[in-house]
Amino acid sequence: MRRFHSYGPIDLDLHFGVERKPLVDRCLDYLIGQPDRGGHYFTIWAARQTGKTWLMRRVLQEIPRRYGEQFALLNLSFGWLSGMPFNPPPGIERTFFPEEFGTLLQREFPQHPEVTRWSDFPALFSRQTQLFDRPLILLIDEVDTLPAPLLDLVVRQFRELYLARENNWLHGLALIGVRAVLGIESQRGSPFNIQRSLHVPNLTAEEVREMYHQYQAESGQPIDPAVVAKVYDVTRGQPGLVSWFGELLTDTYNPTSPYPSLQGQAHQTDFQPIDMTTWQRVWHKSRSVEPNNTITNLIAKARMPEYQPFLTELFSETTIPFSFYDPIISYLYTHGIIGTETIKQPNGELVDVCRFTSPFVQDCLYQALSQELVNDPQIVLVLDPLDELTDVLAGPTLNLPAMLERYRDYLGRLKASGFNPWKEQPRRQTDYHLTEAVGHFHLFAWLQIALGRQCVVSPEFPTGNGKVDLHIRCGDKRGIIEVKSFVSASETREARKQAAAYAHQIGFDQVTVALFVPVLEETVLARLSGTEVINGVQVSTVAIGWV
């Protein structure tokens, strides 16, 4: 029986997956072009674990089925050169030929003429040599692991081959990696200006349902359709994550797994359905104890100093314009951290704005960045050790305003100790006040410590992007904190109305607003704090000073 598989390319004989025939056909059409005249040189690009290598292998299988032995096929990888330094002597950057690159060519073309300089490179594909005897289809994986200046030189060679294609066997070429526009970092621009670009998209909702239908058909174990819908909703169809959640659901946390090897079970024949209870357990484990290589890689990129301020702002800003020509946005987009959404502005104009690629990616980044930005001294206690939080937890409902008063006290103790938690944190470019997300991160991390043994504190993203609510669950009691930063009195009034509307929508009759205000005067904070009832929902506002 097949399994879900999320580490490396899938094999449809061994793993659950979908054919993606339109994508395969499009890639094949690009490579073949006009069979008697020539194909295209193009890039296949997408973030990690989205199926680029699988697509390459699938196309290489399909070409002989359709065209017999009309084409020679060759696939190689530049991953072997990952991390290779590229330090040409000054003045010969455009002609410098690294010895390591020559070694790679020798390994992949064992019968080729020796290549020790760029002028030798065209001989690999020349019709005058005996290395090939028919048109060649070449696919090169992991091209952007090369240092950018070396990649620029390599692509320049392929451009020259394209312009003189009547003299060489290179019929079609696909360069496979993360970036769509090769040479984008070159001051001279991309030399590969004849390229096309094939982006590997995420799976559709129908393709995700098909994968989980395959599992049910082969195992005999039913899966609640709501679970499959959840998998698509939280991953947005990212192939590696769809399969990873499949592993967790059908194998790791399956109450009656058809795979007996992992937990020493006997083979099951009478299965419990994989239902929403199983999903809730998997969702919790996926965010806490189950490592995922794709997410770990994204977090490492998000923590880089040049990208962290932008991502911090994205947690509280819904209208950041998307531009592929912005280097920060381009990097985060091509690496699968952010995507785009088209929204309509009040004047009716359509604009593309930045969004996180999926709720799961957003959730993991939120938790990682909250810990990254909170670096409070350990000598200041989060709570009084004797504080049992009776007034917060003992009543019929959670008293979250009382909890926020303790947070205000904690900030006061930090200040008294000479520590400023807001120092060097990201600020808005408009007025240089701290960004709202900084308050989110700091309060979330504090709540997790202060309530961690008695309650579950989790971020929720009701609109997918640009809005974060902190949900607190203590036994059968639940509460919501919405975090806002003060801009004006009118915007604060609107924020209270929105908080009330959201609470009413999800069936809550009360909500607490943590309002971060760029002043420390207690009289000002007192005027901005208070409780009111809006459309039947009790809205409590606690103003928190920060500078």
Task: Answer whether 125's CB lies under 8 Å from 169's CB.
Answer: yes
Q: What does the pLDDT look like over 259-310, one tens digit per residue?
A: 865 444 545 567 899 999 999 999 999 988 999 999 999 999 998 989 988 9
Q: Give the CA distances from residue 172 to residues 125, 181, 475, 513, 534, in Å, rounded to whole numbers and listed in that order.
A: 12, 18, 62, 59, 65
- Structure confidence at residue 442 (pLDDT): 92
For residues 375 and 503, what is the distance between their CA atoms, to the nearest angstrom?
32
- Structure confidence at residue 477 (pLDDT): 94
Extract the tokens encoding 382.
Answer: 């989060």
Beta bridge partners of 517: 545
In the predicted structure, residue 375 carries a pLDDT above the cut 90: no
Quickly count: other Cβ atoms within 10 Å of residue 522's Cβ: 11
In the predicted structure, residue 185 carries a pLDDT above the cut 60: no
Residue 203 burial (10 A CB sphere; 0-12, 13-18, 19+): buried
- Characterise 501 by phi-psi region: left (phi > 0), alpha (psi -120 to 50), beta (else): alpha
In the predicted structure, residue 183 carries a pLDDT above the cut 50: no
For residues 6 and 242, what is the distance between their CA atoms, to the nearest angstrom?
8
H helix intervals, 164-224: 205-219
Q: Which of 110-114, 135-139, 193-197 tops mean pLDDT?
A: 135-139
Using a pLDDT cut of 70, give the percent of the chain over it.
93
In the predicted structure, residue 187 carries a pLDDT above the cut 50: no
For residues 511 and 353, what is the distance between their CA atoms, to the nearest angstrom?
29
The pairing of strands 530-534 and 537-545 is antiparallel
Q: Structure pTM? A: 0.83
Confidence of residue 221 (pLDDT cuts 50, 70, 90): very high
For residues 374 and 438, what is the distance between their CA atoms, to the nearest angstrom?
9
Q: What is the mean pLDDT of the chain?
A: 88
